[in-house]
Amino acid sequence: MKTIRLHPGKERSLLRRHPWVFASSIAKGGADSGETVRVEAADGQFLAWAAFSPASQIRLRVWSFDEAQHIDAAFFSERLRTAIGRRHTLGIGLTACRLVHGESDGLPGCILDRYADIVVLQAGSAGIERWKSALVGALRTLMPEVRIYERSDAALREREGLPQATGWLHGAGDTQVDILENSLRLQVHVATGHKTGFYLDQRDARVRFAGLVRSQGLRRVLNCFSYTGGFTLAALTGGAQQVVSVDSSAPALALAAQHVALNGFDAARATFVDADVNATLRRLRDEGAQFDAIVLDPPKFASSPQQVERAARAYKDINRLAFHLLPPGGWLFTFSCSGGVGADLFQKIVAGAALDAGADAQIVARTGAGLDHPLSLHFPEGEYLKGLLLRKN
Ligand code: SAH
């Protein structure tokens, strides 16, 4: 077993159970990609077992802080069983659910999303790449009924020095499945959809939105960055009369339109705009359009700390434009999924946007990802999604 020795003082974050060690903290030692190493403080004290990633700035990701723990196939099987068990005890239906949420479930870099009989694996770290077949074996034992599809094509693979990898790991056949979310039928295309196919993390926000539209009797809804129409269906469920969905992906909008039909809603209530959101918001403002509620759920604007400033401007722009399109009493459900933009900063950006639009608003609720995306107390980076539900004064 290879040993990695840290610089003096660099053991502190590990002692606080944070699962990452950056390259600059390492004094001595190296290993192969994904290899398990023993991590020691400068004085030789044992700190953790971790996976080594030679290409990544995040050079080590911790498997365990317990010196007696063996990192073997049984370890991964146990972590997987625990993660799935947690969803069971929370009463989350497992047919459209995140089964493993990376660091927060003790499996750094590992995402497992289940859609009906397909589980999608995203291996985002050298360690998970190395133990992939052990994980697949464990999953097959725990869930013999599922097929397993790999979507390791996210940009972060590059940072880990790993090639892209997609395709069946177990089973074969159609990569398109039907799921039920909040009693709505949705199609997920695991081979071609975004991320692992769908944005499971917004499930709770969508239910909340449907309830809001219903309780407030909201009629005109604008859903920006609609993807396959998650919030569009929520608005229709809540009784909205006119829902406009904007996205720059034609296939996503086509699927959104299919979803409207699949769930038996009148097609006349839904309009789809294949265009840039920013340009569309400007056009709508110039036309004097008004909506009772607007959803802004953009893609990640900042994927590194260097991009935060530019991202802040982009968030501010769309939120400012949205405020112009709301009458007094109108609702804005606005999100950021950029890890680098914290909840405080996001709120400041939105406050600035309101000010620039000459508007004022109240925060009625704050939202985050659902219960199947738990957050480790020691890993604040896991909190990437934040939402503000605002009512314009
Ligand atoms: N709200 C969605 C998820 C949004 S993901 C849901 O509930 O499922 C972000 C979406 O923004 C993607 O569908 C992507 O195609 C779209 N997108 C990214 N940049 C865009 C832009 N500039 N204008 C319009 N849509 C954009």
pLDDT by residue (tens digit) across 197-235? 999 999 999 999 999 999 999 999 999 999 999 999 999
Distance CA 83, CA 209 (A): 28
pTM given for the model: 0.96
Are the C-beta atoms of residues 392 and 322 closer than 8 Å to each other?
A: no
Positive or negative torsion for Cα 87, 88, 92, 96? positive
- Ligand 1, CB within 6 Å, residue ranges: 199, 202, 225-228, 230-231, 246-249, 252, 276-277, 297-299
Instruction: Check whether 84 has a pLDDT greater than 90.
Output: yes
Could you tell me the fold of the domain covering 73-176?
Answer: Transcription Regulator spoIIAA (3.30.750)
Count the Cβ atoms, other than its own, within 10 Å of residue 297.
23
232 CA to middle of ligand 1, Å? 13
CA distance 38 to 28: 12
The alpha helices in 40-184, defined as continuous H runs, are 73-89, 126-130, 132-142, 156-159
Q: Which of 359, 322, 379 is nearest to 65 (CA)?
A: 379
Give the whole-angstrom CA distance, residue 63 versus residue 125: 12
- Give the Å distance between the CA of 225 and the centre of ligand 1: 3
Which of 248, 259, 294 maximizes ligand 1 atoms within 8 Å of its Cβ, making it the mutation to test the pocket?
248
Specify the ligand 1 atom closest to the Cα of 230: 7
Task: Take atom 6 of ligand 1 and give the residue whose Cα is closest.
Answer: 230
Residue 69 CA, ligand 1 centroid: distance in Å: 42
Q: Which atom of ligand 1 is nearest to the CA of 295?
A: 1
Take atom 13 of ligand 1 and give the residue whose Cα is closest.
Answer: 227
Asked if 3-64 and 199-392 have one fold, the answer is: no
**Alpha-carbon span 231 to 245, nearest angstrom:** 9
Indicate the pLDDT class of residue 91, thresholds 50, 70 and 90.
confident
Q: What is the mean pLDDT of the chain?
A: 97
Assign 161 a pLDDT band (cuts: 50, 70, 90): very high
Based on the residue annotation, tell me whether 97 is a catalytic residue of this protein: no
Ligand 1 atom index nearest CA of 206: 7
Q: pLDDT per residue over 352-375, tens digit each? A: 999 999 999 999 999 999 999 999
pLDDT of 133 strictly over 90: yes
How many whole angstroms from its chain centre is CA 135?
Answer: 21
Give the residue, by CA position, lying nearest to ligand 1 atom 10: 225
CB distance 18 to 378 below 8 Å:
yes
Domain ranges of the chain: 3-64, 73-176, 199-392
Cα(38)–Cα(392) distance, rounded to whole angstroms?
A: 54
What pLDDT is attached to residue 305?
86
| Distance from Cα 77 to the centre of ligand 1, integer Å | 35
Confidence tier at 93 by pLDDT (50, 70, 90): confident
* β-pairing verdict for 270-274 and 242-247: parallel
Determine the residue of 201, 206, 225 to mutate for testing ligand 1's pocket, defined as the one with the most ligand atoms within 8 A of the Cβ atom: 225
Q: How would you classify the pairing of strands 293-296 and 331-336?
A: parallel
Nearest to 237 by CA among 274, 201, 210: 210
* Residue-level pLDDT at 377: 96
Ligand 1 atom 11: residue of nearest CA? 225
What's the pLDDT tens digit per position in 165-203?
Answer: 999 999 999 999 999 999 999 999 999 999 999 999 999
User: How close is the Cα of 277 to the center of ligand 1, in Å?
Assistant: 9
Strands (E), 153-275: 165-170, 176-181, 184-189, 220-224, 242-247, 270-274
* Rounded percentage of the chain residues whose pLDDT exceeds 90: 96
Query: Angle CA(263)–CA(268)–CA(274) in degrees, nearest 5?
Result: 90
CATH code of the domain made up of 199-392: 3.40.50.150
Q: From residue 107, how far is each of 78, 122, 274 by CA, in Å?
A: 11, 12, 38
- Compute the distance from residue 299 Cα to the ligand 1 centre, in Å: 6
H/E stretch holding 97: strand 96-101
Whether 165 and 150 have beta carbons less than 8 Å apart is answered as yes
Q: Give the pLDDT band (50/70/90) at residue 94.
A: confident
pLDDT of residue 155: 87
Ligand 1 pocket, mutate which of 187, 192, 247, 367 (most atoms under 8 A from CB)? 247
**Radius of gyration, alpha carbons of the chain:** 22
- Closest C-alpha to ligand 1, atom 12: 227
pLDDT tens, 259-309? 999 999 999 999 999 999 999 999 999 999 999 999 999 999 998 889 999
CATH of domain 3-64: 2.30.130.10
In angstroms, the CA 121 to CA 100 distance is 9
